[in-house]
């Protein structure tokens, strides 16, 4: 049997008295995209740094394509590339110089490194800024240059640590497009994210990590199924009807409502599927004279999964909003600066 | 083994090129680090020249005595820059990328110390130029003159590796800088750089006599203006060799295990 792209067993890593990883198992098949999903401080970055040979685990073993990350670290480094949470580029060098330098350090000869650099600058929409120092780049441009630096040689396994954190939607979409392209070319990807939407969009399998432990693993659908059934969703005409609506629906056998930031909305697990449930819900709400502007059934989202698994919504650290949409925190002002 | 060494040198050369670009792109740093050594040559020559000149051997002018010494002072101070530069690199994400790449483990360190060595040779040339303008002369011949400069540069290179280690263990560039200066000041002043050792109190003489800085100053000075060369020179070789033997592996080991 071919070696897995990534295989980790019982990885433990402590920093002082903090246990960052508490016995994590992980398996990634070649040619797939796996998302490591978890809130801030869950241990995602530590796990990636262990797999990328930057940290030695205290316990457990991990291998990349069959090479041990501790005893065969230099072999592993030939196969992987890492794009970290903070762009790992040289600020005082230009974009082109960065890529040429990394290319040469990836064992390309001078001419080949220059050729690849030009190719990637073009592909990542950085050609116009190629001869400016990287410190003048916007957040999105830095991230693209960083990702380009990982692709000078074709890594077989690429680790992306929160590739879109802090990016505006346009830059995020660019990164997603590049990521999808890489997958089509056959690169195995392990990406960490705190955004449920990102995991849903990009990955084949998702490993949910919290407090240094793996708490669930499967495809997005499997995880959604693990929450079970369907959800009933009501948007109220008047927010003050919320309590009464929940009461009425609970009487029909619905589960505990999810905490929602929108007081006009109620979402609860539904006991049965289909039209009958909608019918009874509509009836119950009309009986109680509760105004409804929207009513429907939907499959559980990864948000629901996260809530069920961790007992807290993904928003506890304020990082990801309830809807799973990524906030635009860093507009690309610098792009206009050129 | 040979191939491995080849890659290490190539990677070190590439990283050194990057560091040289960094120097060139920080014009302020470049300017002040150039002015400072020139200022030292002029200040020491003219301020202390009169007072110290009397305690020098017959026929030796203070400018001739001072210049080889002040090359070492400037080189030793600059060696602390290795700690600061490396420590700043550690703060940058780019080190993570270097560490995740299939490049030689020692290349980041070698690239730093080699770039610092290049800068040292440049500054030495500049200081010698200023020395010539105010009357200093190499008196033993061109080969001895070059040897004199190389002795200083080699010592500076060895010191760089000590400070590379300081940079790796210090918590941030500021800590690296203060640690560097605390170490380098007594070492530089308790030596034959600025004054003949026999003018010092006897307890200080016994320290200065065994100092590698004294050995380097004596060797560089003998090659520049005459005197016993071999005795201090083999001491310099021993120190430089010893320091590199200890600190290169120590630094590489520490670099590998960074958290």
Q: Distance (Å, rounded) from C-alpha A26 to C-alpha A36? A: 9
Beta-carbon separation of A84 and B11 below 8 A: no
Chain B residue numbers with beta carbons less than 8 Å from the beta carbon of A86 are 93
CATH of the domain at A257: 3.30.70.980
Residue B58, pLDDT score: 78
- Gyration radius from chain B CA atoms: 19
Looking at residue A52, its pLDDT comes to: 92
Tokens of residue B17, six digits: 């090129």
Residues A217 and A244 in one domain: no
Verify that A220 and A247 share a domain, yes or no: no
Give the Cα separation of A242 and A256 in Å (integer): 13
Confirm whether A294 is domain-assigned.
yes
- Which residues on chain A are in Cβ contact (under 8 Å) with B11? 105
Has residue A331 been placed in a domain?
Answer: no
The CA distance from B14 to the nearest CA of chain A, in Å, is 7
On the question of pLDDT at A273 being above 70, the answer is: no
Give tens-digit pLDDT for A30-60. 999 999 998 888 899 999 999 999 899 999 9
Domain membership of residue B130 as a residue range: 2-256
Can you tell me whether residue A23 is helix, strand or coil? strand
Q: What is the CATH number of the domain that holds A60?
A: 3.40.50.300
Interface probe with A: pick from B24, B97, B104, B254, most Cβ of A within 10 Å: B97
B208, B192 contact by CB (below 8 A): yes
CB-CB neighbors (< 8 A) of B26 in chain A: 92
Q: Please, which residues bridge with residue A21 across strands?
A: A13
For residue A87, the chain B residue with the least C-alpha distance is B93
C-alpha B221/C-alpha A227 separation (Å) is: 81
Could B94 and A88 be called an inter-chain contact, meaning their C-beta atoms sit closer than 8 Å? yes
Tell me the residue range of the domain where A252 lies.
229-299
Single out the residue in A193, A224, A255 at which a domain terminates. Answer: A224
- Verify that A145 and A277 share a domain, yes or no: no
Encode pLDDT of A152-194 as tens digits.
Answer: 988 999 999 988 888 888 888 888 998 899 989 889 999 998 8
Q: What is the pLDDT of residue A257?
A: 73
**Could you give the CA distance from residue A295 to residue B244 in angstroms, rounded to a whole number?**
75
- Residues A212 and A239 placed together within one structural domain of the fold: no
Does position A334 have pLDDT exceeding 70, yes or no?
Answer: no
pLDDT digits (tens, 9 = 90+) for A82-118: 887 777 889 999 999 999 999 999 989 999 999 999 9
* Statement: residue A335 has pLDDT above 60: no
A211: left (phi over 0), alpha (psi -120 to 50) or beta: left
- How many domains does chain B contain in total? 1
pLDDT for position B225: 92
Name the residue in chain A with its Cα closest to that of B11.
A105
- CB contact, 8 Å: A56 with chain B? yes
Torsion angle defined by CA atoms of residues A320, A325, A328 and A332, in that order, rounded to the nearest 10 degrees: 120
Q: Which of A67-76, A251-260, B82-91, B174-183 is predicted least confidently?
A: A251-260
In a domain, A82, yes or no: yes
Q: Same structural domain for residues A180 and A35?
A: yes
Between strands A265-270 and A67-68, the pairing is: unpaired
Q: In this structure, are A131 and A246 located in the same domain?
A: no
Any B CB within 8 A of A91 CB: yes
pLDDT of residue B27: 85
Over residues A318-332, the pLDDT tens digits come to 333 333 334 434 333
Q: Do A71 and A216 belong to one domain?
A: yes
- Between CA A133 and CA A131 the distance in angstroms is 7
Look up residue A147 and give its two tokens.
């990702």
Let me know whether A119 and A16 are in one domain: yes
Residue-level pLDDT, tens digit, chain B, 259 residues: 678 888 889 999 999 999 999 988 988 888 888 888 889 889 988 888 888 888 888 788 899 999 999 999 999 999 999 999 888 888 877 888 888 888 888 899 999 999 999 999 999 999 999 999 999 999 999 999 999 999 999 999 999 999 999 999 988 888 888 888 888 999 999 999 998 898 899 999 999 999 999 999 999 999 999 889 999 999 999 999 999 999 999 999 999 887 6
For A48, nearest residue in chain B (alpha carbons) = B100
A315 is a domain residue: no
From residue A260, give the alpha-carbon distance in Å to each of A177, A229, A307, A313, B212: 31, 19, 12, 9, 71
Q: Does the residue A68 lie in any domain?
A: yes
Taking any CB pair shorter than 8 Å as contact, residues of chain B touching chain A are 7, 10-11, 14-15, 17-18, 21-22, 25-26, 92-103, 107, 257, 259
> Helix A95-105 to helix B2-24 angle, to the nearest 10 degrees?
170
Query: Mind giving me the DSSP string for A174-192?
Result: HHHHHHHHHHHTT-EEEEE
**Average pLDDT of the segment spanning A232-250:** 85
> How many CB atoms lie under 10 A from the CB of residue B111?
24
Chain B residues with CB under 8 Å of A89 CB are 93-94, 97
Asked if A158 contacts A188 with a C-beta cutoff of 8 angstroms, the reply is: yes
Q: Put the strands of the sheet holding A230-236 in their side by side order.
A: A265-270, A230-236, A292-298
Torsion of the alpha carbons at A299, A313, A258 and A301, rounded to the nearest 10: -10
Dump the DSSP string for A288-337: TT--EEEEEEEPPPHHHHHHHHHSS-TTTTSSS-TT-PPP--S--GGGGG
Same domain, A163 and A272: no
Q: Does any domain span residue A333?
A: no
Residues A79 and A187 in one domain: yes
* pLDDT, greater one: A258 or A242: A242
* Short-list A237, A236, A199, A234, CA closest to A219: A199
Tell me how close the Cα of A28 comes to any Cα of chain B, in angstroms: 19
**Domain final residue pick, A203, A224, A245:** A224
pLDDT band (50, 70, 90) for residue A311: low
Q: Does the distance separating the beta carbons of B21 and A97 come in below 8 Å?
A: yes
Total domains in chain A come to 2
Angstroms from A326 CA to nearest CA on chain B: 24
Interface of A with B in 8-37 (CB under 8 A): 15
Flag if A77 and B101 touch (Cβ within 8 Å).
Answer: yes
Instruction: Choose one of A201, A224, A247: the last residue of a domain.
Output: A224
Residue A324 lies in a domain: no
């Amino acid at each position: 049997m071919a070696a897995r792209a990534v295989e980790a067993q019982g990885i433990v890593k402590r920093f002082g008295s903090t246990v960052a990883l508490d016995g994590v198992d992980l398996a990634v098949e070649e040619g797939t995209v796996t998302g490591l999903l978890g809130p801030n401080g869950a241990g995602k970055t530590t796990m990636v740094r262990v797999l990328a040979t930057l940290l030695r685990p205290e316990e457990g073993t991990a291998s990349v394509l069959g090479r041990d990350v501790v005893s065969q670290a230099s072999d592993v480094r030939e196969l992987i590339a890492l794009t970290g949470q903070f762009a790992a580029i040289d600020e005082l060098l230009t974009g082109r110089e960065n890529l040429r330098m990394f290319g040469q350090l990836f064992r390309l000869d001078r001419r080949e490194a220059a050729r690849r650099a030009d190719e990637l600058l073009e592909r990542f929409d950085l050609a116009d800024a190629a001869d400016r120092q990287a410190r003048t780049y916007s957040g999105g441009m830095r991230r693209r240059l960083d990702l380009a630096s990982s692709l000078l040689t074709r890594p077989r396994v690429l680790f992306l640590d929160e590739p879109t954190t802090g990016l505006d939607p346009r830059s995020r979409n660019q990164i997603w497009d590049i990521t999808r392209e890489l997958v089509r070319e056959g690169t195995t990807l392990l990406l960490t994210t705190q955004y449920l939407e990102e995991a849903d969009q990009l990955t084949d399998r998702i490993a949910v990590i919290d407090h240094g432990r793996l708490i669930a693993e499967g495809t997005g659908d499997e995880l959604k199924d693990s929450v079970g059934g369907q959800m009933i969703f009501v948007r109220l005409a008047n927010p003050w009807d919320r309590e009464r609506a929940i009461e009425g629906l609970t009487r029909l056998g619905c589960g505990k409502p999810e905490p929602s930031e929108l007081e006009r909305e109620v979402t609860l697990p539904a006991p049965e599927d289909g039209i009958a449930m909608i019918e009874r819900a509509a009836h119950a709400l009309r009986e109680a004279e509760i105004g409804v502007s929207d009513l429907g059934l939907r499959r559980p989202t990864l948000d629901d999964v996260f809530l069920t698994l961790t007992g807290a919504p993904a928003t506890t650290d304020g990082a990801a909003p309830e809807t799973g949409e990524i906030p635009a925190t860093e507009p690309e002002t610098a792009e206009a600066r050129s | 083994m040979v191939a491995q060494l080849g890659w290490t040198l190539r990677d070190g050369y590439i990283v050194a090129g990057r560091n040289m670009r960094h120097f060139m792109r920080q014009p302020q740093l470049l300017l002040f680090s150039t002015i400072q050594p020139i200022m030292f040559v002029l200040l020491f020559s003219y301020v202390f020249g009169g007072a110290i000149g009397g305690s020098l051997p017959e026929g030796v002018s203070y400018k001739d005595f001072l210049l080889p010494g002040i090359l070492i002072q400037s080189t030793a101070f600059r060696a602390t820059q290795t700690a600061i530069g490396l420590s700043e690199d550690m703060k940058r994400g780019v080190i993570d990328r270097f560490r995740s790449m299939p490049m030689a483990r020692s290349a980041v360190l070698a690239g730093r110390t080699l770039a610092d060595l290049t800068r040292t040779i440049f500054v030495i040339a500049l200081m010698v130029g200023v020395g010539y303008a105010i009357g200093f002369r190499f008196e033993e011949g061109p080969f001895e003159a070059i040897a004199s400069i190389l002795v200083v540069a080699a010592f500076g290179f060895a010191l760089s590796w000590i400070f590379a280690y300081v940079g790796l263990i210090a918590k941030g560039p500021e800590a690296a800088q203060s640690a560097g200066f605390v170490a380098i000041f007594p070492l530089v002043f308790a030596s034959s750089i600025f004054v003949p050792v026999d003018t010092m109190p006897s307890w200080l003489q016994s320290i200065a006599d065994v100092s590698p800085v004294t050995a380097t100053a004596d060797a560089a000075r003998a090659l520049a203006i005459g005197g016993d060369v071999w005795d201090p020179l083999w001491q310099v070789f021993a120190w430089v060799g010893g320091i590199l033997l200890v600190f290169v592996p120590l630094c590489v080991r520490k670099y590998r295990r960074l958290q």
